Structure 1
Amino acid sequence: MNSVKEASAVLHHRQFRYFWLGRVVSSIGSAAAPIAVAFAALEAGGGVEWLGFILALNIAPQVFLLLVGGVLGDRVRRDRVMVIANAVSGVVQVAIAILILAGVAELWMLAASVFLLGAASAFFQPASQRSIVQLVPPELRLAANAVLRLPLNVAKVLGPALGGLVVALIGPGWALAFNASTFLLSVFFLASIQLPQPIKSKTSALSAFRTGWKEFSARRWYVIMVAQSAVTVLMWLVGFQLFGPVVSHSSLGGAFAWGLISGGFAFGLVGGSLVAVAVRPRRVGITVSLCMATQALPLVALAFVAPLGVIVGAAVLAGIALDISIVSWSAYFQEQIPEGLQSRLSSISTFGQLLPVPIGYVLFALLSGYFSNTIMVSLMSGILVVAALLPLLLPSIRQLRLGQVVDESIAGENDDLLPDLLAKEAKGEAT
């Protein structure tokens, strides 16, 4: 009952309500857009090589502008960043939708549009993630995150299936036109909120980054798990997002089948959160490694073109396992990393995980011209499993568990130095 009251109290905050509406509306269209883009490229005559290039162009600006977007979100009004970013996304989607519907869209136009969308997302995401602290009082932040995540997760489940159905029935142009309308409607809602100017840090960005990098590199367990994630995320994204639509287009009946598979994976992500809360795994190193290895299941099913129901089931299991690993790792990260360092170390690890992805999209797309889809996706499945399980050869990784503090900060044996360093940073005294 208290949770219902808190959720109601959160939505009574006018600014949060408009923020919530803006996020939810745009997420519905955005969940359907990847399917529309993939099949628009395939229908325009692009093979797996072009699709890989397009996916790389979408994620590259998100990787390289990640730190810039984070800095901007801390130095200017976040509502303005979100409005401008979604307005750009809406205009871009309107333009490409019109070109597709008019029958004059070329592959390079589609590639340019996804590049601009990726750049806009690089600025939108950091600003939106940090806006809740300015929209609701501290005692309602947990409820605000829950109220926001629920419809966003539902959109991730329903969006792909809806997008696949729209693409199959009336074409990718209309699916992208729908996405454009959700972006522009989101701009209307987000323009109705007014956030204060963030308090600027007195510490230079370079100095703050140096401290974060030292703390990151000093934690051997963290570096190992980020390296593991860099390989497994690359294999998963290339195998699922690149070859998944290609296999669906050639062997499973097209866009609707791929929408069901993508929706099944998103459904698993939702279920994984519930499983993680119920099971509460404490052996973090073992849990994360085994769950990451499970991501190979739908890749194997796609490689050998299993029946659609089998592939959807494997995608659901992979989604459950992935969210269990995310929940477990997030809890461990928050337990082990001081609060004043969490944003920096999170940005560094995210950058490291995503950096190989654009290169991987292009490289594996080019290799696909020499090998069959079965060989390519099987190869990625094998690499993923090996990379996921390899860290378990180290006792230090097998022993990672919640409730057990691992001291590897740059403070060395004197932990008292780290709080002092962070305090100096807040005052702008760190060098």
Structure 2
Amino acid sequence: MNSIKEASAVLRHRQFRSFWTGRVISSLGSAAAPIAVAFAALEAGGGVEWLGFILALNIAPQVLLLLVGGVLGDRVRRDRVMVAANAASGVVQVAMAILILTGEAELWMLATSVFLLGVASAFFQPASQGSIVQLVPPEQRVAANAVLRLPLNVAKVLGPALGGLVVALVGPGWALAFNACTFLLSVFFLASIRLPQPLKSKASGLSAFRTGWNEFSARRWYVIMVAQSTVTVLMWLVGFQLCGPVVSHSSLGGAFAWGLISGGFAFGLVGGSLVAVAVRPRRVGITVSLCLAAQALPLVALAFVAPIWVIVGAAVLAGIALDISIVSWSAFFQEQIPEGLQSRLSSISTFGQLLPVPIGYVLFGLLSGYVSNTVMVSLMSGILVVAALLPLLLPSIRQLRLGQMVDESMVGGGDPLLPDLLMRGAKGEGST
């Protein structure tokens, strides 16, 4: 009952409601789009190599431009950045949907469209991450993150199932047309937000980035956790987003089966939001690490082509765990990082997470011709578990708690080797 009251209190803020509505609407279409893109590429004659290349092109501009987007999000009104990014995404999806529906689409056109969507995302995400602290009071941030995550995850449940069904019945073009409409509708709601203009600074954009980088590197706990997610995100995205559709296409019945699996994962995300609101885990380091390790469950099920209900069940459990970690980490991040740095540090962490992903998509796409899916996805799941649990060897990570400010002088003492290994992972060296 207390959780319901907190959620209601958050939604009484008019601007947060507009932000919430715009995010939810665009998320519904975006949840259906990856299935449409994957099967549009496969139907256009592209194999695993092409699919890996297309996925890499979506991530590459985010890697290249996220740091620019982070600086922009701390220097320009964040609502304007979000509106421009979603408007551009809507226009791109309209064009791609028309090309597919008219039979004119080619693989290079699909690749170009996902690249442009990645550019828009590079500016949208840091601005969005930094907006919550401007929309609700500090004591409501945990509830605000959970209230936002819950409908986003409901959209992720409905989106893949709807997308898989639409692709199976009428083709991927209509799924992308739906995504275009949701982007453009979200612009209407986001345009009603009026966030404060960031304080003007005489410092250059490069100087602002350097300040953000210094603040990032000074927080050793943050560097370690970003290094952890660098490896786990790579293994998850390549194993689930690249290999998952291929396994579904060849062994599980096609787009509808993949829609069920993706929908099951998103259904788990909804459950994770509910658990996070009700339980509110305090031990952030332990919670995040254990929950990330659970992402290996659906990868193992896919590797051995388990029955569809087993894969869906594993995806549900992984979704529950992941969203608990996201809600807990988001609240901890907003608590520990000053408001004026949040877009920059968010973009730096996302940059670290995404840096090896385009290479991973292309590399594993090429390796698929020489290594079986069972071997490749099993290897990914093993690396994911090790990377997720490795930081728990550090007392400083095990002691991270929500509601307790980190004493930077005490972080990482007596752990000289492991942080170096984790930093190598953050740079895409060694373990990746």
| 1:104 CA displacement | 2.2
Mapped to 1, the partners of 2:232 and 2:12 lie a distance apart of 42
The aligned residue for residue 368 of structure 2 is 368
Secondary structure at the aligned position of 2:200 is classed as coil
| Residue pair 2:150, 2:274 contacting (<8 A) in 1 also | no
Secondary structure at the aligned position of 1:179 is classed as helix
The aligned residue for residue 391 of structure 2 is 391
| 1:154 CA displacement | 1.4
| 1:216 CA displacement | 3.1
Count of equivalent residues: 413
Mapped to 1, the partners of 2:138 and 2:288 lie a distance apart of 31
The aligned residue for residue 121 of structure 1 is 121
| Residue pair 2:149, 2:327 contacting (<8 A) in 1 also | no
The aligned residue for residue 310 of structure 1 is 310
Q: 1:379 to 1:182 in 2, by over 3 A?
A: same
Q: 1:29 to 1:380 in 2, by over 3 A?
A: same
The alignment's C-alpha RMSD in Å is: 3.3
The aligned residue for residue 422 of structure 1 is none
Q: Report the residue type matching 2:378 in the other structure.
A: S
Mapped to 2, the partners of 1:212 and 1:410 lie a distance apart of 21
Mapped to 2, the partners of 1:58 and 1:322 lie a distance apart of 22
The aligned residue for residue 382 of structure 1 is 382
The aligned residue for residue 173 of structure 1 is 173
Q: Describe the superposition over 1:31-77 as per-residue Cα deviations: whole angstroms up to 9, x where unpaired.
A: 11111111111111111111111111111112221122233234334
| Residue pair 1:265, 1:312 contacting (<8 A) in 2 also | yes
Q: Report the residue type matching 2:267 in the other structure.
A: F
| Residue pair 1:218, 1:409 contacting (<8 A) in 2 also | no
Query: Which one is further off, 317-326 or 376-385?
Result: 317-326
The aligned residue for residue 222 of structure 1 is 222
Mapped to 1, the partners of 2:244 and 2:113 lie a distance apart of 21
Q: 1:284 to 1:146 in 2, by over 3 A?
A: closer
Secondary structure at the aligned position of 1:65 is classed as helix
Secondary structure at the aligned position of 1:200 is classed as coil
Q: 1:252 to 1:340 in 2, by over 3 A?
A: same
The aligned residue for residue 273 of structure 2 is 273
| Residue pair 1:293, 1:389 contacting (<8 A) in 2 also | yes
Mapped to 2, the partners of 1:95 and 1:88 lie a distance apart of 11
Q: Report the residue type matching 1:112 in the other structure.
A: T
The aligned residue for residue 61 of structure 1 is 61
The aligned residue for residue 417 of structure 1 is none
| 1:254 CA displacement | 1.0
| 1:173 CA displacement | 0.8
The aligned residue for residue 213 of structure 1 is 213
The aligned residue for residue 255 of structure 2 is 255
Q: 1:260 to 1:369 in 2, by over 3 A?
A: same
The aligned residue for residue 28 of structure 1 is 28
Stretches of structure 2 lacking an aligned partner (at least 5 in a row): 412-432
Find the structure with the greater CA-based Rg.
Answer: 1
Q: Report the residue type matching 1:323 in the other structure.
A: D
Stretches of structure 1 lacking an aligned partner (at least 5 in a row): 412-431
Paired residues for 1:101-180 under 5 Å: 101-131=101-131, 148-180=148-180
Q: Report the residue type matching 2:48 in the other structure.
A: V
| Residue pair 1:75, 1:199 contacting (<8 A) in 2 also | yes
Q: Describe the superposition over 1:160-189 as per-residue Cα deviations: whole angstroms up to 9, x where unpaired.
A: 111111111111111111111222223344
Mapped to 1, the partners of 2:394 and 2:196 lie a distance apart of 48
| 1:25 CA displacement | 2.2
Paired residues for 1:79-94 under 5 Å: 79-94=79-94
Mapped to 2, the partners of 1:57 and 1:170 lie a distance apart of 26
Secondary structure at the aligned position of 1:305 is classed as coil
Query: Which one is further off, 107-116 or 364-373?
Result: 364-373
Mapped to 1, the partners of 2:292 and 2:259 lie a distance apart of 23
The yes-or-no answer on 1:240 pairing with 2:240 is yes
| 1:157 CA displacement | 1.5
| Residue pair 1:285, 1:392 contacting (<8 A) in 2 also | yes
Q: 1:284 to 1:22 in 2, by over 3 A?
A: closer
The yes-or-no answer on 1:329 pairing with 2:334 is no
| Residue pair 2:228, 2:391 contacting (<8 A) in 1 also | yes
The aligned residue for residue 424 of structure 2 is none
Mapped to 2, the partners of 1:234 and 1:287 lie a distance apart of 20
Q: 1:211 to 1:74 in 2, by over 3 A?
A: closer
Q: 1:134 to 1:102 in 2, by over 3 A?
A: same
Q: 1:393 to 1:185 in 2, by over 3 A?
A: closer
Mapped to 2, the partners of 1:218 and 1:201 lie a distance apart of 22
The yes-or-no answer on 1:353 pairing with 2:353 is yes
| 1:228 CA displacement | 1.7
Query: Which one is further off, 201-210 or 100-109?
Result: 201-210
Secondary structure at the aligned position of 2:408 is classed as coil
TM-score, normalised to structure 2, is: 0.84
Q: 1:27 to 1:44 in 2, by over 3 A?
A: same
Mapped to 1, the partners of 2:2 and 2:283 lie a distance apart of 32
| Residue pair 2:150, 2:273 contacting (<8 A) in 1 also | no
TM-score, normalised to structure 1, is: 0.84
The aligned residue for residue 47 of structure 1 is 47
Q: 1:80 to 1:32 in 2, by over 3 A?
A: same
Mapped to 2, the partners of 1:399 and 1:14 lie a distance apart of 37
| Residue pair 1:215, 1:409 contacting (<8 A) in 2 also | no
| 1:198 CA displacement | 3.7
Q: Report the residue type matching 2:242 in the other structure.
A: L
Q: 1:353 to 1:107 in 2, by over 3 A?
A: same
